[in-house]
Amino acid sequence: MILIITKSIFLVKGVYMFNILIIDDDEEIMELIEIYLVNDGYKVYKANTGEKGLDLIRKNEIHLAILDIMMPGINGLEVCMKIRCDYNMPIIMVSAKSQHIDKIQGLSTGADDYMSKPFNPMELLARVKSQIRRYIYLNDTKKNDRNIEVVQAKGISINKSNRKVTLLGKEIKLTPTEYEIILLLASEFGRVFSTEEIFKIIWKEKYFQGNNTVMVHIWRLREKIEENPKDPKIIETIWGVGYKIG
């Protein structure tokens, strides 16, 4: 099942209206979610296969996605990866697979959130609202990114024009790789990046399981910016998922 929110936001009677696509082969679950979303003012699209969901995305403006993993044809993980190749929208995975490794796999393929079935529809609605707020904030921020030369987060200040990094006003000497990692994390305040994501973005190479390159660089960064590297307050570890600032 996929919930997707379109690129454009419509203002109706002073209220923002978002388009959400649900992709799930379970009609009852889709109808249940649709009732809660429609009652809260969302416009809902539905598809019972991944292929139909992707087709709806291509033909409509969608703002967020709630995605079930186990579906006939292409599964939710594959659909998630295809969406991530071409679209920038929140994706919430909803699945009967509740093992920790399943959650890690879902988040690693690009999902922003993960819920296990059975779930409370009100909790799902709350998570949808949370992801939409983040979606709006990031898109509003990115409109001005080209004019922003200084990135600031948790006492860290990064001047992109001269690549100077300071912590509470004191310059920190970083290697080029350390600089790119902290700029990535600080520029997306609050977002969790998996080890694989960081590796692919910074090194631009294929990631292999067991590669501890990112972990080593994160440790070195913490030695330079954290008061206590063993109890980091700036670069946080989200166990089983990845790293974030904020």
User: 45 with 22: CB under 8 angstroms?
Assistant: yes
Helices (H), the chain: 27-39, 50-59, 76-86, 100-108, 121-143, 176-187, 195-203, 213-225
* Helix then strand then coil, % of the chain, to nearest 5: 40, 20, 35
Q: How far apart, in whole angstroms, are the C-alpha atoms of residue 176 and residue 166? A: 15
Walk along the chain (246 residues) and give the pLDDT tens digit of each residue.
444 433 344 443 333 478 999 999 999 999 999 999 999 889 999 999 999 999 999 999 899 999 998 888 899 999 998 988 888 788 898 888 766 777 777 777 778 888 888 889 999 999 898 888 877 766 655 555 545 588 888 889 999 888 899 998 899 998 888 999 999 999 988 899 999 999 999 888 887 776 788 998 999 999 999 999 999 999 999 998 899 998
Domains of the chain, start order: 10-143 (3.40.50.2300), 148-245 (1.10.10.10)
Close Cβ partners of 223 (under 8 Å, ≥ 6 residues apart): 229
**Residue 52 phi/psi, 5° resolution?**
-65, -35
Q: What are phi and psi of 40, to 5 degrees?
A: -95, 5
Residue 85 confidence (pLDDT):
81
3-state DSSP assignment of residue 10: strand
> Does this model's pTM top 0.75?
no
